[in-house]
Structure 1
């Protein structure tokens, strides 16, 4: 995975700089999101691995599947990736692009995982606390995982705050076993 990220980074950076300079960050993020989803499709992956297809054929077919989601610049970007055999990197390019946008716009994506559905007031309180702690705007998504038993697990980039009952029990078991 680290190797894929290393290879994808220059492409993501180039796309980010182009989008930023053309005031099109949101448009490019949407385009790359669609392209990443197409690249992750198992049928598309298998199709792209056919050695008899030229880079141009792969780029044209890929852009055709993406349809109107790609503008001319997006199609050119896809063509460049195809030329260098990098179309399978699109999911990693999209993730890195999103990280560059997040850094530029000073926000962080946060996932709140709870054992039960959270009330809006609880989410707002957690978001307020996270804004103070992280010093950034917070874009939050929530999901339920009953295996947590209770509490909340918070993922913000590389930071994980485990306030779940399952996490506390695991730490207690670790202490008892050591």
Structure 2
């Protein structure tokens, strides 16, 4: 993954710079997410790797799929990725771009996995605690996973806080 991130970073940084210049950060985020979603399709990904198809035919196919979702700059970026044989980096580019955008706007996306529904009061307390510790505004996405048995798993960027019973049992098993 680090190799993909290394290759994707210059593209993400260039798009972010352009988005800042034009005030279109949200639009670019949507465009990159759409391209990444298209490239996650197994058939499209296989077609991108097929040498019999050719870059121009593949580009026309992807442009047809994306035409309603991308403006002219987005289409030009897609053409650049295809012609530089970097279309497989679409997901990594979108992820790095979103991180750059979040850093610039002063927030962090946090994924919370809970064994049970979290009450509003607990959620407010968790949000305040995370914002204080991370020193950023928190945008939280919550998932329910009964396999945790109890507690929470919090993922914020590359930080993971495992306060679940399942995680504690796994740690105990390792110690024994």
Normalized against structure 2, the TM-score is what? Answer: 0.95
Deviation at 1:64, TM superposition (A): 1.3
- Bigger Cα displacement from structure 2, 94-103 vs 52-61: 52-61
Structure 1 residues 63 and 120, CA gap change in structure 2 (3 angstroms): farther
Following superposition of structure 1 onto structure 2, how do residues 1-178 of structure 1 map, counting pairs within 5 Å?
A: 1-175=1-175, 177=176
What SS class does the counterpart of residue 138 from structure 1 fall into?
A: strand
Deviations 1:72-116 (A, max 9, x none): 000000000011111111011100111110111111110111111
Q: Contact between 1:112 and 1:154, CA under 8 Å: does it hold in 2?
A: yes
Deviation at 1:122, TM superposition (A): 1.8
Distance in 1 of aligned mates of 2:18 and 2:131: 29
Deviation at 1:57, TM superposition (A): 2.8
- Bigger Cα displacement from structure 2, 125-134 vs 163-172: 163-172
Deviation at 1:168, TM superposition (A): 1.6
Q: Contact between 1:55 and 1:79, CA under 8 Å: does it hold in 2?
A: no
Q: Contact between 2:47 and 2:53, CA under 8 Å: does it hold in 1?
A: no
Q: Contact between 2:35 and 2:90, CA under 8 Å: does it hold in 1?
A: yes
Distance in 1 of aligned mates of 2:170 and 2:54: 52
- Bigger Cα displacement from structure 2, 113-122 vs 136-145: 113-122
Where in structure 1 do 4 or more consecutive aligned residues deviate above 3 Å? none
What is the number of equivalent residue pairs in this alignment? 176
What SS class does the counterpart of residue 118 from structure 1 fall into?
A: coil
RMSD: 1.2
**Any stretches of 5+ residues in structure 1 without a counterpart?**
none
Deviation at 1:50, TM superposition (A): 2.4
Distance in 1 of aligned mates of 2:40 and 2:57: 18
